[in-house]
Structure 1
Amino acid sequence: MVVSKIKNTIKDILLKCTSLKSFNNHLISRVKGDEIHIFIACLPKSGSTFLANVLVNITGFEFVQFQPIRGTNDHNIDPSVFYESLNKNTITQLHSKPNESNKYYMERYNIKIIFLYRDIRSSLKSFYNHIITENDKWFMFTVAKEFREWEIEKQFDFLIDLIIPWYINFLTSWKIEVKKKELDILEIDFDDFKNSNAETINKILTFYELDNYKKNIESALDISYSKKEALRFNSVVSKIDYEFTTNQLNKIKYLISYYPELNIKI
């Protein structure tokens, strides 16, 4: 009887010790302090998959999403996944905003951020194609049941009404954060990256103090370009020939007019 009670007591202690909080504390204690986490906070369809792949090829860092399940979940840092990766050099890309929760981890662990964006119209056209050909399950909106049956102008009306407010919220939250200078942020425009891959990568490596990896830029870009269609970078199949109507452009301009000081590209 006594032995049984002792066993149960030990079991209870072990269960408490292996709780999530204790496990996270254990992982934190293993951090050496010199780990590098390249974090790409990206607007959808801004070349982030390609950029992350190039950086993995250059550095050999592990590609880790700080989220167990992306899908229709907001792209917030999940503490369990984050702490499991703290003692590694990592690269991640998420459509994350600098909200209170995400910013806590970024500040607490001195994570430098790449804020990757693209002009709204180009991004939205690529996003439209992604919905049609790949995935229509997203966390910022729900695709209407008859969406695929509509004329394309109505489809874009829908996307402008439902997605552009999230786009603007994402862009303004990061642009405001850049001005506050509480986080170490490198702004990268998709067009700059597309037009000058090596120069942009060079800037990123300097930002993360990874100059010793610059010798790998050319070969890493060659590897990633060999599979650019799969990585959806400047892809032929991702392009759609659509001209926004005057009313659609006016609506987008009207929405961004609330933030004239941020110079949001449309």
Structure 2
Amino acid sequence: MSTEESAASPMVLPEGTDPAGIQAALKTLRDGRDRFPNSAKVRGLLASVLITLGLLDEAEAELRIAVGLSDASRETSRQLALVCRRKGRLREAFEVMSAAPHAPATDGSNILIACMPKSGSSWLRTMVNTFDFIDTEYLAPLHDRREQELDLLILNRERPNFFVAQHHVRATGSTDYAVENFNISTVVLVRNLFDNLVSARDHFNDRRPVSPQFYMDGRFKTWDRERQMLFLADFYAPWIVNFIATWWHSRINTFWLTYDILRDDTETALRCVLEHAGFDVPTDALRAAVHSTNEEQKTKTLFNVGMSGRGEGVSPEVRAKVRALCAYYPEIPFERMELL
């Protein structure tokens, strides 16, 4: 096992597992791989067990071979993308899925964009909503300071179309239940934490400092910039780090995007989101959706600046506070995810 693998994903057997039985199962799967070296399906089965055990280097090696075999499927690519994500390589995971074998359209599903604030979620949701088979839905009954938990009564409503919803919602048992029982595909949208803090500070300073992540009132606007940033590092950043941690450990199938990926390769990101939800949309329609949304955003937008690297000037004290929060989750490679 490599240093990177042992640091990021130590081998932890599921509770009650017989170590001898696991070793025997692994030997059987490896023997099967040796007997059928050109079977992506067999390598995928072996990789799925290796992923569960945290043996990510070996799983990646198997899947790198598997994606090039004749029977490789989109699921093979999804497994490889999962390994890349577990290792913190979010951009590479995105590239794997963008190059994955084309999957025929399914019956489709609803889309939940589970997002950090100020991560481009309104922009992404508007692009998805461009298509006439998807409507925007708000799955929490109120805005304001209320935590944006998904409301099962709203989810139970009959609708003529699929929906796309964006929410600052953490992964919980309730969220998992909603995703699994209401035909929802989930996209997790994150952003560099320091860029995010600067953008959030501008947002709360220019508008109202009202948020489900913390309690504050008009005093926020009377403070100098550094005091505002320190407050957000103490009260806003904990929610953000917790948001990332809950989705990192969620058992449901999620598609991860970053603000930078969405900005740098918007059309491909939109295609991957729709494919994740089971939709096959022509390239011309994707291009039109991106263009029309970008034109709309020129006059109606929640972007403050819409660029990366804004967090480079964050003070050492603020940086230390955020890094200390992340250090409580050593299994999450924040640095390699380009979130710090």
Flag whether TM exceeds 0.5 (same fold): yes
Q: Which residue of 1 aligns with 2:329?
A: 259
Q: Is the 8 A contact 2:195 2:310 kept in 1?
A: no
Q: How does 1:222-237 map to 2 (within 5 A)?
A: 222-229=291-298, 230-233=300-303, 235=305
Q: Over aligned residue pairs, what C-alpha RMSD do you find?
A: 2.4
Q: Is the partner of 1:211 in helix, strand or coil?
A: coil
Residue 42 of structure 1 contacts residue 96 of structure 1 at CA under 8 Å; is this kept in 2? yes
Corresponding residue of 2:161: 88
Matches within 5 A, 1:134-153: 134-153=207-226
Query: How far 1:147 sits from its partner (Å)?
Result: 1.9
In the alignment, structure 2 segments of 5+ residues that lack a partner are 1-105
Counterpart CA distance in 1 for 2:179 and 2:211 is 24
Determine the structure 2 residue equivalent to 1:25.
none
1:193 to 244, 255, 262: 262
The equivalences for 1:28-39 within 5 A come to 34=107, 36-39=109-112
Say whether 1:131 aligns with 2:204.
yes
- Find runs of 4+ consecutive structure 1 residues off by over 4 angstroms: 239-242
Take 1:131 and 1:97, find their aligned partners in 2: how far apart are those partners?
21
1:247 aligns with one of 317, 323, 326: 317
Question: Closer, same or farther in 2 for the Cα pair 1:167/1:236, shift >3 Å?
Answer: closer
Q: Which amino acid aligns with 1:210?
A: F
Identity percentage of aligned residues: 22
Supply the AA of the counterpart residue of 1:254.
Answer: A
Q: Secondary structure at the match of 2:146?
A: coil
CA contact (8 A) 1:111 1:184 kept: no
Which deviates more from structure 2 when the two are superposed, residues 196-205 or residues 241-250?
241-250
Change (3 A) 1:192 1:241: closer
Flag the 1:163–1:99 CA change in 2: closer, same or farther, 3 A. Answer: same
Tell me the equivalent position of 1:101.
174
State TM-score, norm by structure 1: 0.79
1:221 equivalenced with 2:294 (yes/no): no
Partner secondary structure for residue 132 of structure 1? helix
Classify 1:67/1:35 alpha carbon distance in 2 versus 1 (closer, same or farther; 3 Å). farther
Say how many residue pairs are matched: 230
Deviates more, 1:227-236 or 1:80-89: 227-236
Structure scoring higher RCO (CA < 8 A, sep ≥ 6) equals 1
Displacement of 1:106: 1.0
State the TM-score, normalizing by the size of structure 2.
0.63
